[in-house]
Structure 1
């Protein structure tokens, strides 16, 4: 009896599909023009280098869009913002302005400096992926945040071996008294933004979440914007 072929992958860096994210980096290596505003198109991702001491401003252009956000140590992508570790350090489920954002090495990679929104974000949910959409009944390929992260890094010549838990900016997942959750639209308004200050050289990856099956983007994925400030 022949043995079925099983593909063995040494990491989780491979996208399961493709969109324009792979072909449209902000620059060849992700270095931004300081002060220039860039767009993360709806359903796509972008990666940007943010040096220690610089601040990235991420803007919810329309107020209804979730932005999955990852922060990697630019020198060693195996170190990254990890909310499994950050929640233990902060004793909070959602960080607030002034809080450090901790890595899987339990050290601060960035500071959450400013938040003009009501402060409702999510740190519990994994990035949407192809398997999530299959479970929701989608046939064929659906753009997803996990692949957007992989492609955004690949577009600037980088690769992360895993898809960490993202900082789901403006995602509204309330925990009810019985510990169940809901999937609701954001409570932010147009032009709300967050400022995140890098405490080491970073690569920040953002995905304008393509979720259009449940109402976390008000069923209408749209673009977000970002600017790296000196």
Structure 2
């Protein structure tokens, strides 16, 4: 049943929201870090657990344990990498980009930001990022979007890749959460539409994401639907799983916002 709210109630709700937003923004750091340096520094061989190269158009999944990290590296050329994740102990808990944006008051994800689950816990901390151009709004490519963009060309797409990946993991289509697209400079324009903001990522850009719980993570290496390149030619992407350094007490991702602090408190309750 639809409930019509009065103008006074709507105004009061808006005021509460704006007050909450103001507190959240006041807590956030005044200056976020500059992009991570290029070229990417070498990872100590003793810290490396596994390295995988995902060919253009293909997918891969891995178990990632609390305290480990992933480096996603475009060392062979620019390419968008789509990512989804689940709590390894309970796959009903999964990546939640709506809460990630809402709780941090921004769609701009980069070094110092965190990725939340749908249970209000932190799944990833972004500990390095040279690109600063990631899309958490639009989702990945589909058979239909590829057919429209690359007519007459046989291609692979992110949606079907993730269906294959989840099936191999014993999951179903309904278990696929919203997709985080790394290295995709998508922003909202003045009309409210999605816009590719130029090719702001470079061949050699990388992102590092530290696991804040045990997870299953799946990747798809297919062009973003808005990628302006008219040719389907995704470059290989290298993903390195490694043991991350223990976070310091003042770790930016753990202290950047009041919501992140609460998220890590929720994690501590889970891991106790």
Under TM normalisation by the shorter chain, which class is it? 0.7 to 0.9
Find the partner of 1:174 among 177, 184, 187. Answer: 187
Instruction: Tell me the equivalent position of 1:199.
Output: 212
CA–CA distance in structure 1, aligned partners of residues 217 and 75 of structure 2: 18
- 1:43 aligns to what? 57
- TM-score, L = length of structure 1: 0.75
Q: Is the 8 A contact 2:58 2:222 kept in 1?
A: yes
Deviation at 1:152, TM superposition (A): 2.5
Q: Structure 2: which 5+ runs fail to align? A: 1-46, 244-272
2:86 alignment partner, one of 46, 51, 72: 72
Per the alignment, do residues 115 and 168 of structure 1 end up closer, same or farther by CA in structure 2, a change over 3 Å counting?
same
Aligned to 1:17: none
Following superposition, the deviation at residue 183 of structure 1 comes to 3.1
For structure 1, which runs of at least 5 residues remain unmatched after alignment? 1-32
Q: Secondary structure, in 3 states, of the residue corresponding to 2:99?
A: helix
Q: How far off its partner does 1:171 sit?
A: 0.7
Q: CA deviation at 1:213?
A: 8.5
2:162 and 2:143 map into 1 onto residues whose CA distance is: 13
1:120 to 127, 133, 138: 133
Q: Provide the rounded CA distance (Å) in 2 between the counterparts of 1:227 and 1:85.
A: 27
Tell me the equivalent position of 1:149: 162
Q: 2:222 aligns with which of 167, 186, 209?
A: 209
Q: Which has the larger radius of gyration?
A: 2
Structure with the higher fraction of residues in helix conformation: 2
State TM-score, norm by structure 2.
Answer: 0.64
Partners of 1:52 and 1:213 lie apart in 2 by 34
- More off after superposition, 70-79 vs 194-203: 70-79
Q: Give, in angstroms, the shift of residue 164 of structure 1.
A: 1.7
Q: CA-to-partner distance for each residue in 1:151-205, whole Å, 9 max, x for gaps?
A: 23334x3314333221100112232233333235532222221111111101111
3-state DSSP of counterpart to 1:36: strand
Aligned partners of 1:37, 1:217: CA distance in 2, in Å? Answer: 30
* Matched ranges for 1:97-112 at <5 A: 97-112=111-126
Q: Check if 1:133 corresponds to 2:146.
A: yes
